[in-house]
Amino acid sequence: MSSDQIPAVNVDDLPADLSAAGAPLLVDVREPDEWSAGHIAGALHIPMGELAARLDEVPREQDVVVVCRSGRRSAAVTTYLAQGGWQVRNLTDGMVAWAARGRPMISEAGSAPTVL
């Protein structure tokens, strides 16, 4: 699947309230330190290297949006999941765009959330 064929969505296309009915599930594929520094509330954290072992955690019956820092790792994961039959899209420009748009983030590091 070439990069222009990867199903994608940008931050502005996502609802502000991701807990609302019908909102997609966000799967964050960044590393644990990135996740801890700042992530989207309600996202499912599955580091890219753990995905194959944790596929059963990604629902097939729900719209899934994959996110990383810049959209590159998530594009690879999106391709993998799409080939496996998931209804999935890549969040273009990733957490960098999310933060730039002022969208809410939380941190597990005890400090203000940030994107590493």
Contact 58, 86 (CB under 8 A): yes
Distance linking the first and last C-alpha atoms of the chain? 28
Q: How would residue 107 be classed by pLDDT, with cut points 50, 70 and 90?
A: very high
Residue 115 in any domain: the answer is no
Q: How would residue 3 be classed by pLDDT, with cut points 50, 70 and 90?
A: low
62 has a pLDDT exceeding 80: yes
Residue 8 in any domain: the answer is yes
Rounded-to-integer distance, Cα 1 and Cα 43, Å: 25
| pLDDT score, position 99 | 96
Domain that holds residue 86: 3-14+22-100
Residue 95 in any domain: the answer is yes
- What are the pLDDT digits (tens) for 12-57? 999 877 888 889 999 999 999 999 999 999 999 999 999 999 999 9
Global model pTM greater than 0.85: yes
Residue 68 in any domain: the answer is yes
Domain tally, the chain: 1
Catalytic residue, from 6, 14, 68, 77: name it. 68
Q: Return the CATH number at 79.
A: 3.40.250.10
Residue 108 in any domain: the answer is no
Rounded-to-integer distance, Cα 105 and Cα 96, Å: 12
Tell me the one-letter amino acid at 31.
Answer: E
Residue 116 in any domain: the answer is no
- What are the pLDDT digits (tens) for 76-100? 999 999 999 999 999 999 999 999 9
| pLDDT score, position 22 | 84
Q: Give mean pLDDT, residues 46-70.
A: 97
Q: Is 68 a catalytic residue?
A: yes
Residue 107 in any domain: the answer is no
Residue 105 in any domain: the answer is no
Rounded-to-integer distance, Cα 88 and Cα 80, Å: 10
